[in-house]
A and B are shown apart, each in its own frame.
Chain A
Amino acid sequence: MTKLTIAKAINAGLRRAMERDPKVVLCGEDIGTLGGVFRVTEHLQKDFGEDRVRDTPLAESGIMGTAIGLALRGYRPVVEIQFDGFVYPAFDQIVSQLAKLHHRSQGRVKLPVVVRIPMGGGIGAVEHHSESNEAYFAHTAGLKVVFCSNPEDAYWMVQQAIESDDPVILYEPKRRYHEKGEVDLDAQSAPRDLFGAHVLREGTDVTLACYGPMVKTCLDAATAAEDEGHSLEVIDLRSISPLDIDTLTASVAKTGRMVVVHEAATFLGVGAEVAAQVTERCFYQLEAPVLRVGGYNVPYPASKVEEDYLPDLDRVLAGVDRSLAY
């Protein structure tokens, strides 16, 4: 076992994928000499060369469109979008081409493209550097959308995403990049499916469903709730498209209550879909409506007030209390 940060774990995963498959190429802004603004690709250009770790021109639509072209030619491109708020110039290529070509070609064309996006807030950044835009992509059929929340998942999920023959958007919780955890670099296979949810903490009273940066917040909330005598089950969704609904319904069958937590605005967000699906399947087991704790329906605020926008331990616990009060 090796202790790695999430950033270093993704780096190790990329390295391993590149060693295994010469068709894996990385494309993005500042990912070469600099190793990316978060240093996720550090040293990879030195070790794999400029052809495989490509510092692209500053144009996201260009990066995305050419990555699709590379995939059509048999490569497995991994695109780094520098910050969540800068994926929008690539949006057209992602939703019009990346998501649809397999379908349109009646399955003849496969696009094994990975789009890595550092996501979320809480780092005191200026505008466009703190967004949670997963719902746009999860709402687009043809894309798979996953989140890593810890170093072990980060290490494996990036490799599994690269191995997938479908396009995968891999969100990385940027404020957690430097949090450490154990990773078994000698293991030969992934401990879990790329698209499966993971019960991180078992509990009996309320289920917390979360992903990305909110996983740690929810685990902390569960620890705090224990002191108050509440047993919370914490599920890391890991994949929001597809959604591992069975793991969620099994949990609700036990707890009867669920709170979904994410940084993105709750209005038309992933939590709304989770709540609907869980309610449709578990109506008679639910003791309370599935509740959501998330961002508000406003543009991500200036960093001086972002802590009031982002769900934190207290807001998660308030959600738990609301659920228990039914």
Chain B
Amino acid sequence: MSSDSGVAVTPEVGDPFARVVPPPDPDRRPGGSYGSPEMIQILTPEGEFIEHPQYGRFLEDLTDDDLRGFYRDQVLIRRLDTEATALQRQGQLGLWASMLGQEAAQVGCGRAMRPQDYAFPGYREHGVAWCRGVDPLELVALFRGTNKGGWDPAEHNFHLFTIVIGNQVLLATGYAMGILLDGDVGTDDPERDTAVMAFFGDGATAQGDVNESFVFAAVHNAPIVFFCQNNQWAISEPNWRQTAIPLYKRASGFGFPGVQVDGNDVLATYAVTRAMLERARSGEGPAFIEAFTYRMGAHTTSDDPTKYRVSAEVEVWKHRDPIARLKVYLSRSGKADSAFFADVEAEADALAEKLRRETHAMPDPTPESMFDHAYSEPHAQVDRDRAEFRAYQEAFADVEGEQA
């Protein structure tokens, strides 16, 4: 894990006061250091498997099928993500927030969750949504402007996306406090013990909500894993605008462990997340995972990253691609053959085609549906406004009719 100079230069271990320092010359940002020397990595960018003394045991029961599954998941969500970006370009979606480059981080932790665990995503967790069984079409519907979250959170134990940076992290913490009240931790019943995953980005770590979550989780010893995808950027602001120390080091100040993991390494991410989830489920309290990764694409389809970052940086990260390294590992170790890879490609093509077709066919909501669900009980003002709206629509239809 070399420490070439650049964005988010990470200090050496051993110096607790070492800062994340801004690069001296903003025009020379080759791609940043690749995490701290403490970063957990099991699969190198070259696809080499390195035994890990502490976290290796969390991979022991994985079958070759599971490993191929990690690959399949990543390829499929990358294809879905690319397709959604294309759909936005074609005017089918208002916006799309691409997760390109963050597949391993999301599949690694998504697959480490148990069915009873609960996830609170931001707006970029398409891969986690996939792992939780949410239909990709539902994600598209949100970005299309058809609704604000069409899936049933309880069905998938996957909360709605949250766009307001940091808000969901407090909700996640409260949910975890509820699990604690229910006594659903530390029972040794693997079907019962439950933990929460809270997702947020590097930028979000500046928000009060996120820091308050750390405090609440710590003092209550809540069963929650804070999963921060450090993709190096918060729109145009690099890490060092948000933090003066590496993010994972913050955790200790709040009173729980913080681990930095190679977020482009699905095995390391899986192992570390599983370790921290098991810890939380057994009643040992919260943990913080910084998944060190990179936002390969624009912030969203509305963003133009050429305004603030150099392409050389993206080039550096291309060599750290999460899918490529797993493919190398699977082929070299004989765990997957070319037929398998071809099958996954074909499946991805079919999935993308289905998403495209279903998006084009997606009906618009009726205008009057805007009055639904503002409250669970009747509300006189909503009723009056709905009546006014209906009368207006009808009068308008009459006029149009006369004119036609």
Contacts and interface: CB of A to CB of B under 8 A. Distances in A.
A315 B148 CA distance: 26
Contacts of A314: 396
A302 B302 CA distance: 18
Contact of B364 (A124, A125, A304): A304
Contacts of B235: 29-30, 34, 37
A33 B242 contact: no
Interface in B362-390: 364-367, 369-371, 374, 379, 381-382, 385-386, 388-389
Contacts of A58: 165, 203-204, 206-207, 234, 237, 242
A33 B236 contact: yes
Nearest to B145: A303
A34 B307 contact: yes
Nearest to A266: B385
Contacts of B142: 126
A125 B370 contact: no
Contact of B163 (A61, A124, A126, A296): A126
Given A33-B308, A58-B206, A315 B144 contact: no
Contacts of B207: 58-59, 89
Nearest to A31: B236
The number of chain B residues touching the other chain, given as a range, is 35 or more
A35 interface: yes
A126 B371 CA distance: 18
A267 B208 contact: no
A298 interface: yes
A308 B146 CA distance: 14
A297 interface: yes
B106 to A, nearest CB: 20
B143 to A, nearest CB: 7
A57 interface: yes
A306 B370 CA distance: 9
Given A34-B308, A315-B392, A305 B206 contact: no
A318 B392 contact: yes
A67 to B, nearest CB: 15
Nearest to B300: A126
A126 B95 contact: yes
B209 interface: yes
Contacts of A299: 374
Interface in B331-369: 364-367, 369
A37 B370 CA distance: 28
Interface in A59-91: 59, 61-62, 85-86, 88-89
Given A32-B236, A58-B234, A302 B148 contact: yes
A96 to B, nearest CB: 14
B395 interface: yes
B154 interface: no
Interface string A12-37: 00000000000000000110111101
B395 A298 contact: no
7 contacts: A30-B236, A55-B241, A126-B95, A126-B142, A127-B148, A298-B382, A298-B385
